[in-house]
Amino acid sequence: MRRFAKAILGLGLVLALGLAAAPATAQTPRKGGTLRILVHPEPPHVVTALGQASGTVTIGGKIFEGLLTFDFGLNPKPGLAERWERSADGLTYTFHLRRNAKWHDGKPFTAADVVFTTQEFLMKTHPRARSVFSRVASVETPDDHTVVYKLKERFSPFLYAFELSGAPMMPKHIYAGTEFDKNPANAKPVGTGPFRFVSWTRGESLQLERNPDYYREGRPYLDAISFHFIPDAAARTVALEQGLVDQAQFDAVQFTDLERLKKNPALTIADKGQEFIAPLILMDMNSRRPPFGDKRFRKALLHSIDRNFIKDRIFYGQGKVPTGPISSSTRYYISDVPRYDYDPEKAKALLDEMGLKPGADGTRAEIKILALPYGDHWTRLGEYLRESFRRVGVRATVENTDPGNWIQRYTNWDYDIVYTFFYQYADPALGVARTYLCSNVRKVFLANANGYCNQRIDDLFSAATSETDEAKKQAAYDEIQKTLIEDLPTAPLLELQFPVVLNRRVHDAITTAHGPNDAYADAWLAR
């Protein structure tokens, strides 16, 4: 009997696997068609090298390319560079460029463009790139298709800087000697990507067409991509539901609409494609202000929060409950760290231990939450935190403000508790270290605002950044993660997955760690 049951089970498994695998193999890409994408809000421009607003990167990512792209596991893949190598001492990086890549105006893409982009253009316009490329001692171009970077000191995350939003390649023959942000080419961008700029009717739509000279044979499959700007959220949802557009991502989709969109058989929601940015929502606690200086207080607050509720009810299942300061899709993440389960009793015990006994009205302490003014779900999160804290006797009030004021107060350390999301940028040295380094306690937006300072952490980050031995690097990050989750200067609330909604007729769109920002050379539309 049992054997029979096993056989049935096995048969079922085979069938299930077969069915699951079938659609992936059965369909061959089809050429042609226009992919229609909703973008909200409409970006001020689409030149990725000049600014990285989400709409700019989604559109600009199809026009401009980086030397590398990254797969879901964050391994480098060829972009404009077809090969690359790192010297044994970790100081020299050599990129071999595609020989048949051309700018949209027909001029060849060469090593001179790469040097111009990283050492001149981005130095003026892109703070994140500047912090990486200022580490370069010299760049050589032995021939038109080879670029050799020599670094001042070892910097192991170097390759991650060459991704599409970190170092989008810009044409030297158009921009050299001009004011980059005032160049007329910004209105009619010239890149190397699979799609060329056609037109932009402000407030309505932006059109790209297939680049027939693209260096990858037979790519792209699509004839064109059009981006549509619809300011009204309800109208955007209807456009998706009725199949008037094929894709919407990031702020173009409201979390509150996800339940109904999931039920629509024509639509699917991507669960991959944000490994590179890996947005992690942190609750930042200002350690300068009592009682936040005591880590038992910070721990008590985290124990009072049901992070599954945040994930399921506020962000409608879009994400994962984090375990530590590094997102699980980022390099060097470990899961083996102390956990902070939802446990209000433990929170109360910690507060008791600190001597914060409840007063006559049950209040142990009073704190303020500076709510993030970026939309309804962020307001709900603030309200949820307030009620969670109240349940353990910490009386919290929410402060509402406008985005400008919010940034100013966060930047100038004028808060008790603030929460927002941080991009990880693949390597913890790029997106994680900034929040915890003593050397980054500065009044600069998204620097170390909470005031946490532990020299050991600075040393470990600096060791990991210059280490090229993966095992040693991992060991440094192990200790960093264990220390930070124990000290808890910030509390990780959610590994956020922004909503990306696709019509099922769209295939092979989300194929890299850049998700909807990718160039879409492989994307195709079924009939």
CB 245 within 8 A of CB 228: yes
Tokens 């790029």 — which residue?
Answer: 430
Edge-to-edge order in the sheet of strand 280-285: 319-320, 490-496, 280-285, 417-422, 365-370, 394-399
Complex with another protein: residue 178 or 397, whichever CB lies closer:
397
Cα–Cα dist 62/34, whole Å: 14
Kind of pairing, strands 224-228 and 34-38?
A: parallel
Cα–Cα dist 374/371, whole Å: 9
Q: In the numeric block, which tokens belong to residue 312?
A: 């399921």
Cβ 401 to another protein shortest distance, Å: 7
Complex with another protein: residue 163 or 306, whichever CB lies closer:
306
Cα–Cα dist 195/520, whole Å: 9
Cβ 381 to another protein shortest distance, Å: 10
Cβ 350 to another protein shortest distance, Å: 22
Cα–Cα dist 31/525, whole Å: 8
Cβ 352 to another protein shortest distance, Å: 23
**Number of H helices and number of E strands within the chain?**
16, 21
Complex with another protein: residue 313 or 456, whichever CB lies closer:
313
Cβ 416 to another protein shortest distance, Å: 14
Cβ 444 to another protein shortest distance, Å: 24
Cβ 234 to another protein shortest distance, Å: 8
Q: In the numeric block, which tokens belong to residue 495?
A: 């590994």
Burial class (CB in 10 A: 0-12, 13-18, 19+), 35: buried
Cβ 366 to another protein shortest distance, Å: 12
> Nearest to residue 424, comparing CAs of 325, 494, 517?
325
Complex with another protein: residue 311 or 386, whichever CB lies closer:
386
- 83 SS3 class: strand
> Nearest to residue 301, comparing CAs of 359, 355, 346?
346
Cβ 507 to another protein shortest distance, Å: 29
Cβ 232 to another protein shortest distance, Å: 11
Complex with another protein: residue 51 or 373, whichever CB lies closer:
373
Helices (H), 242-361: 258-262, 295-303, 307-309, 344-354
Complex with another protein: residue 293 or 362, whichever CB lies closer:
362
Complex with another protein: residue 72 or 378, whichever CB lies closer:
378
Complex with another protein: residue 39 or 371, whichever CB lies closer:
371
Cα–Cα dist 452/172, whole Å: 43
Complex with another protein: residue 410 or 422, whichever CB lies closer:
410
Cβ 389 to another protein shortest distance, Å: 12
Q: Show the 3-state SS of 250-264.
A: HHHCCHHHHHHHHCC
Give, rounded to a whole angstrom, the gap between the first and last alpha carbons of the chain. Answer: 48
Cβ 304 to another protein shortest distance, Å: 13
Tell me which residues touch another protein (CB under 8 A): 233-234, 254, 256-257, 259-260, 313-314, 371, 373, 376, 379-380, 382-384, 386-387, 390, 397-402
Complex with another protein: residue 211 or 254, whichever CB lies closer:
254
Distances (CA, A) of 285 to 82, 383, 409, 487: 45, 17, 13, 12
Complex with another protein: residue 81 or 370, whichever CB lies closer:
370
- CB contact set of 232 (below 8 Å; sequence gap of 6+): none
> Nearest to residue 498, comparing CAs of 23, 54, 92, 199?
54
Complex with another protein: residue 381 or 433, whichever CB lies closer:
381
φ, ψ at 208 (rounded to 5°) = -120, 150
- Rounded (5°) CA angle 62-274-516: 25
Cis geometry, peptide bond prior to residue 41 (ω within 30 degrees of 0): yes
